[in-house]
């Protein structure tokens, strides 16, 4: 590896709360409640008790939906649930603009606690062709902030963790990234301009 390559700086991102505005889970459970007429509290109680099975890939999305239906009384068929679920994604467009503007020399990764079907949906998004590495918890079997997640990201990026900034909207995940050797940047969509400056400064110091 050349000296330039060994000191170059790169970036990896979380997805939910970074490339989306607000929480995907909150919006999706609200949409299910609105469509079905079942109280959102009942939907969320079941959803959040079982969503880990999706995040680590031990359940398929139809498995998850069958359980949620049985516990909540929602009668919406899976064929209607899946598009409603995917339609709950609310893009944070400024972050996609930032992604597209990154120098071609910058390697870009994604580490996301994500779900079957949703991860496939993201892979089909033409904007995701800019990523050099995509690591989804449902495929890895580990979710952030587990150290295995960050080890997998470093391996997929193909560069040392110390050369990579990691952007997430959850402090616990930033703390874990820092412990793994990454440079953690806590993100909130209300402060996108400040984030861009922080990232630009860090990348240009490489």
Q: Which residues pair with 112 in a beta bridge?
A: 136
The reported pLDDT for the residue numbered 206 is 64
Q: What are the E-state strand segments in 83-203?
A: 108-112, 133-136, 164-168, 183-186
- The string of pLDDT tens digits covering residues 178-199 is 999 999 999 999 999 999 999 9
- The string of pLDDT tens digits covering residues 149-167 is 999 999 999 999 999 999 9
- The string of pLDDT tens digits covering residues 93-146 is 999 999 999 999 999 999 999 999 999 999 999 999 999 999 999 999 999 999
| 10 neighbors 157 (Cβ within 8 angstroms) | yes
- The string of pLDDT tens digits covering residues 165-174 is 999 999 999 9
**CA distance linking residue 126 with residue 164, whole number of Å:** 23
Chain Cα centroid distance, residue 151: 16
**CA distance linking residue 111 with residue 166, whole number of Å:** 9
Domains and CATH numbers, the chain: 3-22+91-204 (3.40.50.1000), 24-86 (1.10.150)
- Tokens linked to 24: 């995907």
Percentage of the chain surpassing pLDDT 90? 94
- Which residue would you say has higher pLDDT here, 10 or 3? 10
- The string of pLDDT tens digits covering residues 15-51 is 999 999 988 999 999 999 999 999 999 999 999 999 9
User: Mean pLDDT of all residues in the chain?
Assistant: 95
């Amino acid at each position: 590896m050349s000296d330039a390559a060994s000191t170059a700086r790169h970036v990896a991102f979380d997805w939910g709360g970074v490339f989306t505005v607000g929480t995907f889970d909150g919006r999706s459970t609200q949409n299910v409640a609105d469509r079905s007429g079942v109280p959102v509290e009942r939907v969320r109680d079941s959803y959040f008790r079982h969503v880990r099975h999706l995040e680590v890939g031990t359940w398929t999305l139809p498995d998850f939906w069958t359980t949620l239906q049985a516990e909540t009384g929602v009668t919406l068929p899976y064929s209607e649930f899946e598009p409603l679920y995917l339609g709950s994604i609310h893009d944070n467009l400024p972050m996609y603009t930032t992604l597209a503007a990154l120098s071609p020399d910058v390697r870009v990764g994604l580490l996301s606690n994500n779900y079957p079907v949703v991860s496939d949906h993201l892979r089909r998004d033409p904007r995701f062709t800019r990523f050099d590495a995509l690591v989804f918890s449902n495929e890895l079997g580990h979710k952030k902030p587990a150290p295995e997640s960050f080890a997998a990201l470093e391996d997929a990026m193909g560069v040392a963790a110390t050369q990579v900034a990691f952007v997430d909207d959850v402090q616990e995940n930033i703390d874990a990234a820092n412990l793994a050797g990454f440079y953690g940047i806590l993100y909130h969509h209300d402060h996108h301009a400040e984030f861009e400056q922080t990232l630009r400064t860090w990348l240009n110091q490489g």
